[in-house]
Structure formats: C-alpha cells, structure tokens
Structure 1
Amino acid sequence: MSTTDFDFYQGEWTVANRRLKDFLEERSGWEEFTAVSRASRHWANFDEIEFPTMGFKGLTLRLYDTEREEWSLYWSNDRRGVLDPPVVGRFGPEGRGVFYGDDTYQGKDVRVRFLWSDITATTATWEQAFSVDGEETWLTNWVMESVRRG
C-alpha cells in the first residue's frame, strides 16, 4: 500500500460499462455503454470519464492518507456537481483494492463497496455494489472493464 497504488490507471482507457438501470433492483435489467477515461497522478490520483452515449461526465479524486495507509475515493459528475461521500480502503497483497462507504440512493441508506481487480498493464476492472442489510448481502450494480488505449 502506498501513494502509487493507482499509478496503474494513468493514461487513457476505453471503458465498457454494464450497469443496472435501478441500482437496488436486480430485475431492472442491465444497460451497456462505453466511455473514455483519462487518468493522471499529481499529489493525488485523478481521472475524468466521459460517457458520450449517456450524456454526462464524471470524475474520481483519490487521496491517500499516509498515516492510516488508506485511500479515500470521491466521485462526482457534471449532472450534480458535488462530491459524493467517499469510499475508503486499500489494496491487499494480492493487488485487489476494496473500498467501503456510506451513501444514500433514492432516499435509502446504502453501504457502498468498490472493488478494483484484474489489474494488468493494459486492463483493469472496477465494480460497485450496494448493501441495504448491513453487508449481509451485496448487489453488484455497475461494472467497468477498462482497456488501455494506444
């Protein structure tokens, strides 16, 4: 774990998205769309993602707390213009990142989990899941499979 954990994501990526139409309803059906992500490292880690067919853009700000040795990941999009509450966590020795946080979705309190996995020089997978029962069960509601461009 270090300030360089997300360096693998620097650069430009084509992102295949698969997301539930309703993040809390498994039967709502999946929608698929592409995106382009551009990531860079400053004193923090940052990426901006554009979803051309969906009509919006988003960004993630990742900050590493050197005392706690953990990351805080903040999401925002141009539809709302605010930072969502962070998910916080770290990468394990196997190279998989797990991050948790609390948020609301359509007025319901949800526990949020982000997973970063299958990381190579040219690919990475991100997943979002929600729990409404104290982490007893998780519903994966968004998967992004990134492939490095160029």
Structure 2
Amino acid sequence: MSSPHDFDFLHGEWEVRHRRRTDFLDAGSEWEEFPSTTRCWPLFDGAANIDEIDMPHLGAKGLTLRLFDRESRRWSLNWSSSSSGRLFPPVIGCFGDDGDSRTDSGDGRRDRGEFYGDDTHEGKDVRARFVWSGVSETSARWEQAFSLDGGETWLTNWVMDFTRPETNQEPVSGTPAA
C-alpha cells in the first residue's frame, strides 16, 4: 500500500512534454503536443504536496493538491485549472498493491500508482483514471484516461512525460520562496 512519501520523487522542478487528444472522448481525434514546466513542493512532512504547471500553449496554469489519508493509506489528487478556477472532483488511489512485485522498484518503493474518480466532461459522466509510472528521481510519466461505461473500457486522452531540467537534477525540499 501507499505511504506518505510516495510522491517525494515529484518535488522540485520539471520539464514536461504533453501529448493530448484534441477531443478527450473521441478515439479518432488528433493528438497535439506541447511543452510546459512545473514545480512541486512538499507539505505536511511529505504527506501532502502541491504543484503548479505552466502551459503557455493552452494559455492556462494548473494546480494539483495531493493529500495522503493515513487511515485508508490512499492519496487524493485534486486538480484545478486557472481557466475555470474550479476544483475538480478528486481521483483516489495508491502506489502498488500488497504483494504485487511488478510495481516495486527493488528498494521497497512502488513506482506505479493508479487513481480513480468520477467527473463530467462536456456534460457527460465519465470515470477518470490517472496512472503514474516509470517513476524515478529524474523522470516519470502521467497518463489520464476516461471511461464512459463505468470503467469497462478506457480511452487514454492525455500523457505527460516529466524530466528534470539538466541544471536541476536534484529534487527540491521545503516550500517555495516567498
């Protein structure tokens, strides 16, 4: 199960390469690609973090607040966009699964996390899935998929590949400077 330090890898600055469908619900829609930057910092001694992603291509910024629930040992990932100023419903999940060695990096750290939640997109009810994979100190991948049939089938509609800027190969701890 997850721990309060699952997202420690994300702390610091990142360059991000986006690939997303122009229509999140249409498997035949075109893909667009664009770069962005993001910075993440820890809160609550690692049991929470916040990041802001700057996406000039979209003319927007995004914010994610991640909170670890110590009782359920699950994370809630809460997203907001500067375009709407609205907090979207969270996706909830964890890294690894008890006894699943496929998600273990060999040092006890789980390097794949899955998170699920219910939302709406363009007036349609969707089940949302976020997957973090390939997690290391210098790279990671995030994928978003939507399901219109309660999770029977999924359409991946956004992929982000994270890499550390060459001048900043180390994660940053603490809070941002005021």
TM-score normalised to structure 2 length:
0.83
**Whole-angstrom CA distance in 2 between matches of 1:120 and 1:63:** 20
Q: Give the counterpart letter for 2:12 in structure 1.
A: G
Question: Match for residue 51 of structure 1?
Answer: 55
Residue 124 of structure 1 deviates from its aligned partner by 0.3
Q: Give the counterpart letter for 2:54 in structure 1.
A: E
Give the 3-state SS of the residue equivalent to 2:5 in structure 1: coil
Give the 3-state SS of the residue equivalent to 2:28 in structure 1: helix
Deviation beyond 3 Å, 4+ runs, structure 1: none
**Whole-angstrom CA distance in 1 between matches of 2:83 and 2:56:** 14
Q: Give the counterpart letter for 1:30 in structure 2.
A: W
Q: Does 1:118 align with 2:122?
A: no
Q: Does 1:66 align with 2:67?
A: no
**Whole-angstrom CA distance in 1 between matches of 2:125 and 2:58:** 26
Q: Which structure's CA Rg is the greater one? A: 2
**Whole-angstrom CA distance in 2 between matches of 1:2 and 1:119:** 15
Q: What stretches of structure 2 of length at least 5 have no aligned partner? A: 98-102, 104-110, 168-178
Residue 82 of structure 1 deviates from its aligned partner by 1.2
Q: What stretches of structure 1 of length at least 5 have no aligned partner? A: none
Give the 3-state SS of the residue equivalent to 1:58 in structure 2: strand
Give the 3-state SS of the residue equivalent to 2:9 in structure 1: helix
Q: Does 1:102 align with 2:103?
A: no
Question: Match for residue 132 of structure 1?
Answer: 148
Question: Match for residue 11 of structure 1?
Answer: 12
Residue 53 of structure 1 deviates from its aligned partner by 2.1
Give the 3-state SS of the residue equivalent to 1:76 in structure 2: strand
TM-score normalised to structure 1 length:
0.98
Residue 19 of structure 1 deviates from its aligned partner by 0.3
Percent identity of equivalent pairs: 57
